[in-house]
Amino acid sequence: MKLIIYSILSLFSISMVHAQAKKPNIVLIICDDAGFADFGFQGSTVMKTPHLDKACKDGVRFLEGYVTSSVCAPSRAGILTGRYQQRYGYEHINVTGFMSENSALKGEDMGLPLEENTLGDHMKKAGYTTGYFGKWHLGEADRFHPTKRGFDEFVGFRSGGRSYFAYPKKTLKKTPQLNHNRLEWGYKKYKEPEYYLTDLLGDQAAKFIEKHQDKPFFQIVAFNAVHTPLEFLEKDTAQFPNLKGKRKILAGMTLSLDRACGTIFEKLKELNLDENTIVAFVSDNGGPTDKNASSNLPLSGTKSNHLEGGIRIPFFMKWPNGIPANTEYDLPVSTMDFAPTFMKAAGIDIKKYPLIEGVDLIPYLNTAIAHNPHDDLYWKKSCRASVREGDWKLIRFPDRPAQLYNIAEDISETNDLAAKYPEKVRRMYKKIWNWEKQMPQPKWLLKRKYEIYDIERMDKYHLN
């Protein structure tokens, strides 16, 4: 009898070791231009996001999760490389027509430098099947294509935005600038969506999971929701009879985003993959309240500036086999932490990649490490820059004195303490300079009018 029990225990131990040794699947979901307050798991009583709320409850919600840029393309570059994108000159969005004449690179030359390794590259080397679905925005030229940057499969579009519905053939013929907005299936195989794009991307991500369920997979699902154009399904907006205008449309688009995420989550559960799958969810930057009626409250600011509303985003991660459920983490983390976190989980020795600046978050979430994951976090966009040091944050402007806030005591950044702590201002200002001196010149620049617009938007949405 004892022999039987010992045999059973030995087999159980072996199976547990095998289960723990099995590489986790990884699903990274990036939504676009979502507001800090526009999800149920972030406290919204208006938006309906049941699938995302449940997924968040199954994992860790990061109360102070940051992106590396307040605008989409540089933010995505930071995610894909695990580095400050300023290190390789990717400081601004790359949209033809927005760029300054003084830019070193223009047009299709703008993109994630080919010498930079992406998360797709790393995961492929670790034996993962890789897929990318949705908005790319990291270079429109063929050499920057997702299938040449580490991803086996791609369904999405190369540019920074497009319609949620099919472009008519006549429109595509008459408007060649929409070329990179077309929905692409693989490499240079184009077919416009037959139904609402948010739902389609969720369906394609679920099909990828089913197709590759027998070995580790890594996918990024980069929804363009809830970015403009504000296009919606009436069945979704009908769920919000008490809302009006842009806010009603945003609610409907957010509901469709949640439904598409639910399609992915349900497929993982159906195939018994959810226990050993890391799922992470973020927005690529803060919500542009003036564009899509998103809410970043109680944060000040919006997309494109360095107030908390531009850089602090909805952020959660779950992994039933690896991190605790129904918890909150209250120290600052960054989306550049995804790269080392995923790589380490995949069995990659991240010490071999010293240029990566993010950190593996798993030990922090399992309470093995109690101190801050990052001593400092930095942001920069032209002459504007900021640094977060512990609870303190300094913002540098081109048109006014620097501002200093204690984020722990003043989440809305309404009490500027710069005059009260001049020595702290000087010391933190020097930190920005010392960090900034390490960076090359941006490879392309925005026209001056867009910099002015960003600052005006900041002033408009700075709570007072």
Residue spans of the domains in the chain: they are 23-375, 383-441
- Alpha-carbon distance 379 to 85, whole Å? 10
Cβ count near 40 (within 10 Å)? 20
| 347: Cα within 13 Å, side-chain hemisphere | 12
* 110 in Cβ contact with 444 (< 8 Å): yes
Query: What are the residues whose beta carbons fall under 8 Å from the beta carbon of 169, sequence distance 6 or more?
Result: none
Helix (H) or strand (E) holding 389: strand 384-389
Whether the model pTM is above 0.85: yes
- Alpha-carbon distance 413 to 411, whole Å? 6
∠ CA 193-195-200, rounded to 5°: 75
Query: What are the residues whose beta carbons fall under 8 Å from the beta carbon of 368, sequence distance 6 or more?
Result: none
DSSP state of 117: P
Cβ count near 455 (within 10 Å)? 18
- Alpha-carbon distance 65 to 44, whole Å? 18
Radius of gyration of the chain (CA): 22
389-404 residue pLDDT tens: 999 999 999 999 999 9
Closest to 383 measured CA to CA, from 292, 319, 448: 448
CATH fold label, 383-441: Arylsulfatase, C-terminal domain (3.30.1120)
For 105, left (φ over 0), alpha (ψ -120 to 50), or beta? beta
- Alpha-carbon distance 369 to 356, whole Å? 20
Q: Residue 333, exposed/middle/buried by CB under 10 A (0-12, 13-18, 19+)?
A: buried
- Alpha-carbon distance 152 to 149, whole Å? 9
183-214 residue pLDDT tens: 999 999 999 999 999 999 999 999 999 999 99
Q: Which residue has the tokens 């089913």?
A: 210
- Alpha-carbon distance 172 to 179, whole Å? 7
Average pLDDT by stretches of 10, the chain with 464 residues:
38 38 94 98 98 98 98 98 98 92 92 98 98 98 98 97 96 90 97 98 98 98 98 98 98 98 98 98 98 97 97 98 96 98 98 97 88 96 96 96 98 97 98 97 94 93 77
Helix (H) or strand (E) holding 328: strand 327-329
Task: Place domain 23-375 in its CATH homologous superfamily.
Answer: Alkaline Phosphatase, subunit A (3.40.720.10)
pLDDT at site 21: 64
- Alpha-carbon distance 172 to 162, whole Å? 12
| 128: Cα within 13 Å, side-chain hemisphere | 33
- Alpha-carbon distance 317 to 46, whole Å? 23
- Alpha-carbon distance 402 to 306, whole Å? 12
